[in-house]
Amino acid sequence: MEFGFGPEDEAFRGEVRAWLREHLGGDRREWERELGRGGWIGLGWSEDGYGNRRASLTQQVVWAEEYARAKAPPRSGHIGENLLAPTLIAHGTDEQKARFLPPVARGEELWCQGYSEPGAGSDLAGVRTTAVRDTGGAPGEYRITGQKIWTSLAHEADWCFVLARTQPESLRHHGLSFLLVPMDQPGRIEVRPIRQLTGTSEFNEVFFDGAVARAEHVVGGEGNGWRVAMSLLGYERGVSTLAQQIGFAEELGRVVEAAVANGAVNDPVVRDCLVRLWAELRTMRWNALRTLGSSAQADGPGDLRDPGAPSVAKLLWGRWHQRLGELAVRVRGVTAAVGPADWTTSSPYELDAFQHLFLFSRADTIYGGSDEIQRTIIAERVLGLPKEPRG
């Protein structure tokens, strides 16, 4: 499949631009509701009827690109829209879809992802969080005990989809279940923000101490959590990659402007780095379009023509973004060590855009599956090398 924008796609682009110009603004939570009122949440879902518009893959690309170009607010609802919803459509019951998809489409309920754990990292099969049937409480309930870490936006989320071990003594990927858990459970769920190098706290630790999940909120049936969790990971990277690259291009443009303004561009090494980063970003765009074309011809997220494509893309953009951050502070020179405001012990430190880019990009090769995990996936699933020994 080749991407070409026809007249109907250009008309759609005009509609998107007009809507964004008219409606941009508001805090992040209210912005999700505004998107929901416009029907812009769930464009890529394989089903409609939940308050969402439907759009072709090309039109989804148009939406993602125009959204990024308009500098619209960061999304709070992308986990529910792009991860939970496609998973429910593929594996959920009619009752689960009717309960959870409309609030996601309206931007009213926000979600977080309870996968990673201390000591397990990206090894999902090492899950130790348990969920046992509550024999002493209400019928049809589980009690969840354990800890999740690096949980994005857990401090804002209304619900969490949790991978937990529901069969005692089970090992690795056996005996896991995919549970939908309400976050508003004082004394049973504790969220602790993780302060990062940037001074912000998008990631969190989440502690479950007898948290309740209802049995009808087990997606795919008890013990089938591994299959559901792997299906969800197939949705993690798609059209949003192209929007991400537009953000990268804007960051690169600011670095180029700074290099020209202060004369750093006269350094041949800096010039070479700038040209190389520009060329690599263009290559990543065409690779993303190729991957999307392959995905469109597949039967589902588990049937990609190129099973290593998402891992290759993650390896490419993670290290690319880190090198951009390194070049940004190099272009600034010694002034990169000075913040935009005086720092005191009574107030948090401030960072300018280049400092934030440099520090936050340190995490790019870790979150979303570390580089080591991506290389293992490529080795085993694409190259057919022997599987890595696991305990």
Strands 159-165 and 111-114: parallel
Burial class (CB in 10 A: 0-12, 13-18, 19+), 253: exposed
Structure tokens at 94: 């009619």
What number of other Cβ atoms are within 10 A of residue 328's Cβ?
24
DSSP string over 62-79: HHHHHHHHTTPPPPSSHH
DSSP one-letter code for 160 = E
Name the E strands within the chain.
111-114, 130-133, 141-148, 159-165, 176-182, 189-193, 204-214, 218-219
Structure tokens at 213: 């999940």
Structure tokens at 28: 């992040």
Looking at 47, 222, 236, 380, which residue is catalytic? 236
- The one-letter code for the residue type at 166 is T
CA 159/CA 112 separation, integer angstroms: 6
CA 6/CA 29 separation, integer angstroms: 34
- Is 236 known to be catalytic? yes
CA 297/CA 334 separation, integer angstroms: 51
- The one-letter code for the residue type at 299 is D
Residues 6 or more apart from 63 whose CB is under 8 A from it? 12, 16, 40, 43, 55, 239
Active-site residues: which are they?
A: 236
